[in-house]
Amino acid sequence: MSFDLSEFLTEGLINSVDNGLIPSDLATVYAGNYLVKSLITQAQVTQLSDAITAYKAAQAAQASAAADNNSVQ
């Protein structure tokens, strides 16, 4: 069993954004730095970008649902 640093970094960034540990903008900066240093691939940067987009959509939907619940009451 071998350790895949690029997978570890990518999943770490995605999990950190999903858990609210770091802002998505900072994760994007980290990903760019990792890409420049060839620690992750462009495909993994795209994977992170897609995960951030999904996270932001989920947050927006959650905020909208909360706003709808508040306006009904």
Does the pTM surpass 0.75? The reply is yes
Structure confidence by residue, pLDDT tens digits, 44-72:
999 999 999 999 999 999 888 887 777 66
What does the radius of gyration of the chain's CA atoms come to, in whole angstroms?
A: 15
Structure confidence by residue, pLDDT tens digits, 4-15:
999 999 999 999
- 13 neighbors 40 (Cβ within 8 angstroms): no
